[in-house]
Structure formats: structure tokens, C-alpha cells
Amino acid sequence: MNLTHNFDSFIPRHYWVVILVMTNNLSYMIKKVIIFDFGNVIGMFSHLKAAMQMASHCNKDTETIRKVLFNETTENELEKGNLSPEQYRKITCDLLNINCQDHEFDLAFSDMFTPNDAVCNIIPHLAKSHRLILLSNTNWFHAKRFLVQFDQVLRHFDSMILSHEVGCRKPDRLIYDILNRKTNTKPSDCFFIDDLSVNIQIAKDCGWSGIIYHPEINLKKELVTYDICF
């Protein structure tokens, strides 16, 4: 059977190139691995809200509480898993003279996320054609909270790489390598969306592509310019 002759009978040859190009482009777009940061991308967070909630358990002012809760050194160690939840509670309670039950502390510290609808609403559509992975600098308290609060969105994700579980955090290049190894992905297939320029730059150094997210951009339109379809 002469397939070429049969195709020629209803599709002129000069259209074949167009069809092949469209097919190749579709294959390219479908194989993308889209990696999302969580904080200030999928969920917006407020350190101030956490501090105000913790104020009901101590007699310190909100700004003092905020500085202790989110002390850079302590927070980094917590997000790398080097501080246990028990150790963090003790350090914080001792510094602020907090008097409450563990579950009250955990709620005050972790209930600080609100959905970013502009991103959350496109994730189910992206998941139809792309593999989605979460890469987040986080800790036991916050992850426990947002994994439940954002379940309807995060269930579309194939894998999650959380800093406190793997022992390092962005922008350490190691966490990008860990993601590729654990998810069996190639750097050239990875597209990263993060709100911090330093995290995107390291991703590009690792062979990924990506964009810096901020609420003013139209993420859907931006992704289309990178041949990421919906």
C-alpha cells in the first residue's frame, strides 16, 4: 500500500511541513517539567499575621515577635531541618516568654498563608499537559499547615521537594541537583517559577530555565511565551 500516494490524494505535500512543525512543537511543550516555589507564588504569606497571632500568647510587641519568629539564622536552620520543632518552640518561647500549648504555638506560627488565585487557578490546567513539582524552602510547621490548606491545588503535583526534608535550601545548588535526582528529570526539561531572582539565577546555572514571579505579571501569558501550553 502506497501511503505517500494516499496522503497526497487529500493533503498536498506543501502542508506536510506545517503539520510536522506543529507536531514537533506540541511534543516539546508537553514534555516540560514545571517547578513551582510555594511561598509568594502559590500561597502568599504574612510574617506580620503570624506575629500578631503569637502576640496573644506573650506580652511582647508585634515587631519584636516578628524578629524572633523569623530570625534569619534560626529560620535557615529550621528550614534545613537542623532544628527540630521541639527545639524551635523552646528557643522561641524562651526568648519571648510565650506561655501556651504546643498546638496553639503551631497554629499561631503557621496560619499565615492565603491562596494566590492567579496561580492556583491555572495549576489544574497545566497539570493536564505537564509534570508539576514543588520546590520550597519551608519547615515542619509551615509544611504541615499548607499541605492541608492547599490540598486541592497540591494534589496536581507529581513530587514535592521540601528543604527541611532534604537538608538544604535554595539558593544552594545542591537542592536543585537533589530535585533532578529524586524526580528523575533532566535540567534541560525543567522550568522554574520562583519569586526570588537569586533562586532563578542558580536554577539557570544548573541548566534549568525559569522566570521570576511577582503578582503583577500575567503568569499564563508569560508561560505561553516559553512554549508552555495549557
The reply to whether 21 falls in a domain is no
Kindly report the CATH number assigned to the domain that includes residue 138: 3.40.50.1000
Q: Are residues 141 and 216 in the same domain?
A: yes
Q: Are residues 177 and 125 in the same domain?
A: yes
Cα–Cα distance, 180 to 163 (Å, whole number): 14
Cell numbers for 154, please give them.
497540591
The reply to whether 184 falls in a domain is yes
Q: Are residues 38 and 57 in the same domain?
A: no
Cα–Cα distance, 138 to 152 (Å, whole number): 19
Residue 34: name the closest of 146, 95, 111, 124 by CA.
124
Please state the domain count of the chain. Answer: 2
Cα–Cα distance, 8 to 20 (Å, whole number): 15
The reply to whether 158 falls in a domain is yes
Q: Are residues 100 and 130 in the same domain?
A: no
Total-model pTM: 0.86
Q: Are residues 125 and 216 in the same domain?
A: yes
**Which residues on neighbouring strands pair with residue 225, listed in sequence order?**
none
Q: Are residues 150 and 130 in the same domain?
A: yes
Cβ burial, residue 44 (10 Å; 0-12/13-18/19+): middle
Walk along the chain (230 residues) and give the pLDDT tens digit of each residue: 454 444 455 445 544 443 444 444 444 444 689 999 999 999 999 999 999 999 999 999 999 999 999 999 999 999 999 999 999 999 999 999 999 999 999 999 999 999 999 999 999 999 999 999 999 999 999 999 999 999 999 999 999 999 999 999 999 999 999 999 999 999 999 999 999 999 999 999 999 999 999 999 999 999 999 999 88
Q: Are residues 93 and 191 in the same domain?
A: no
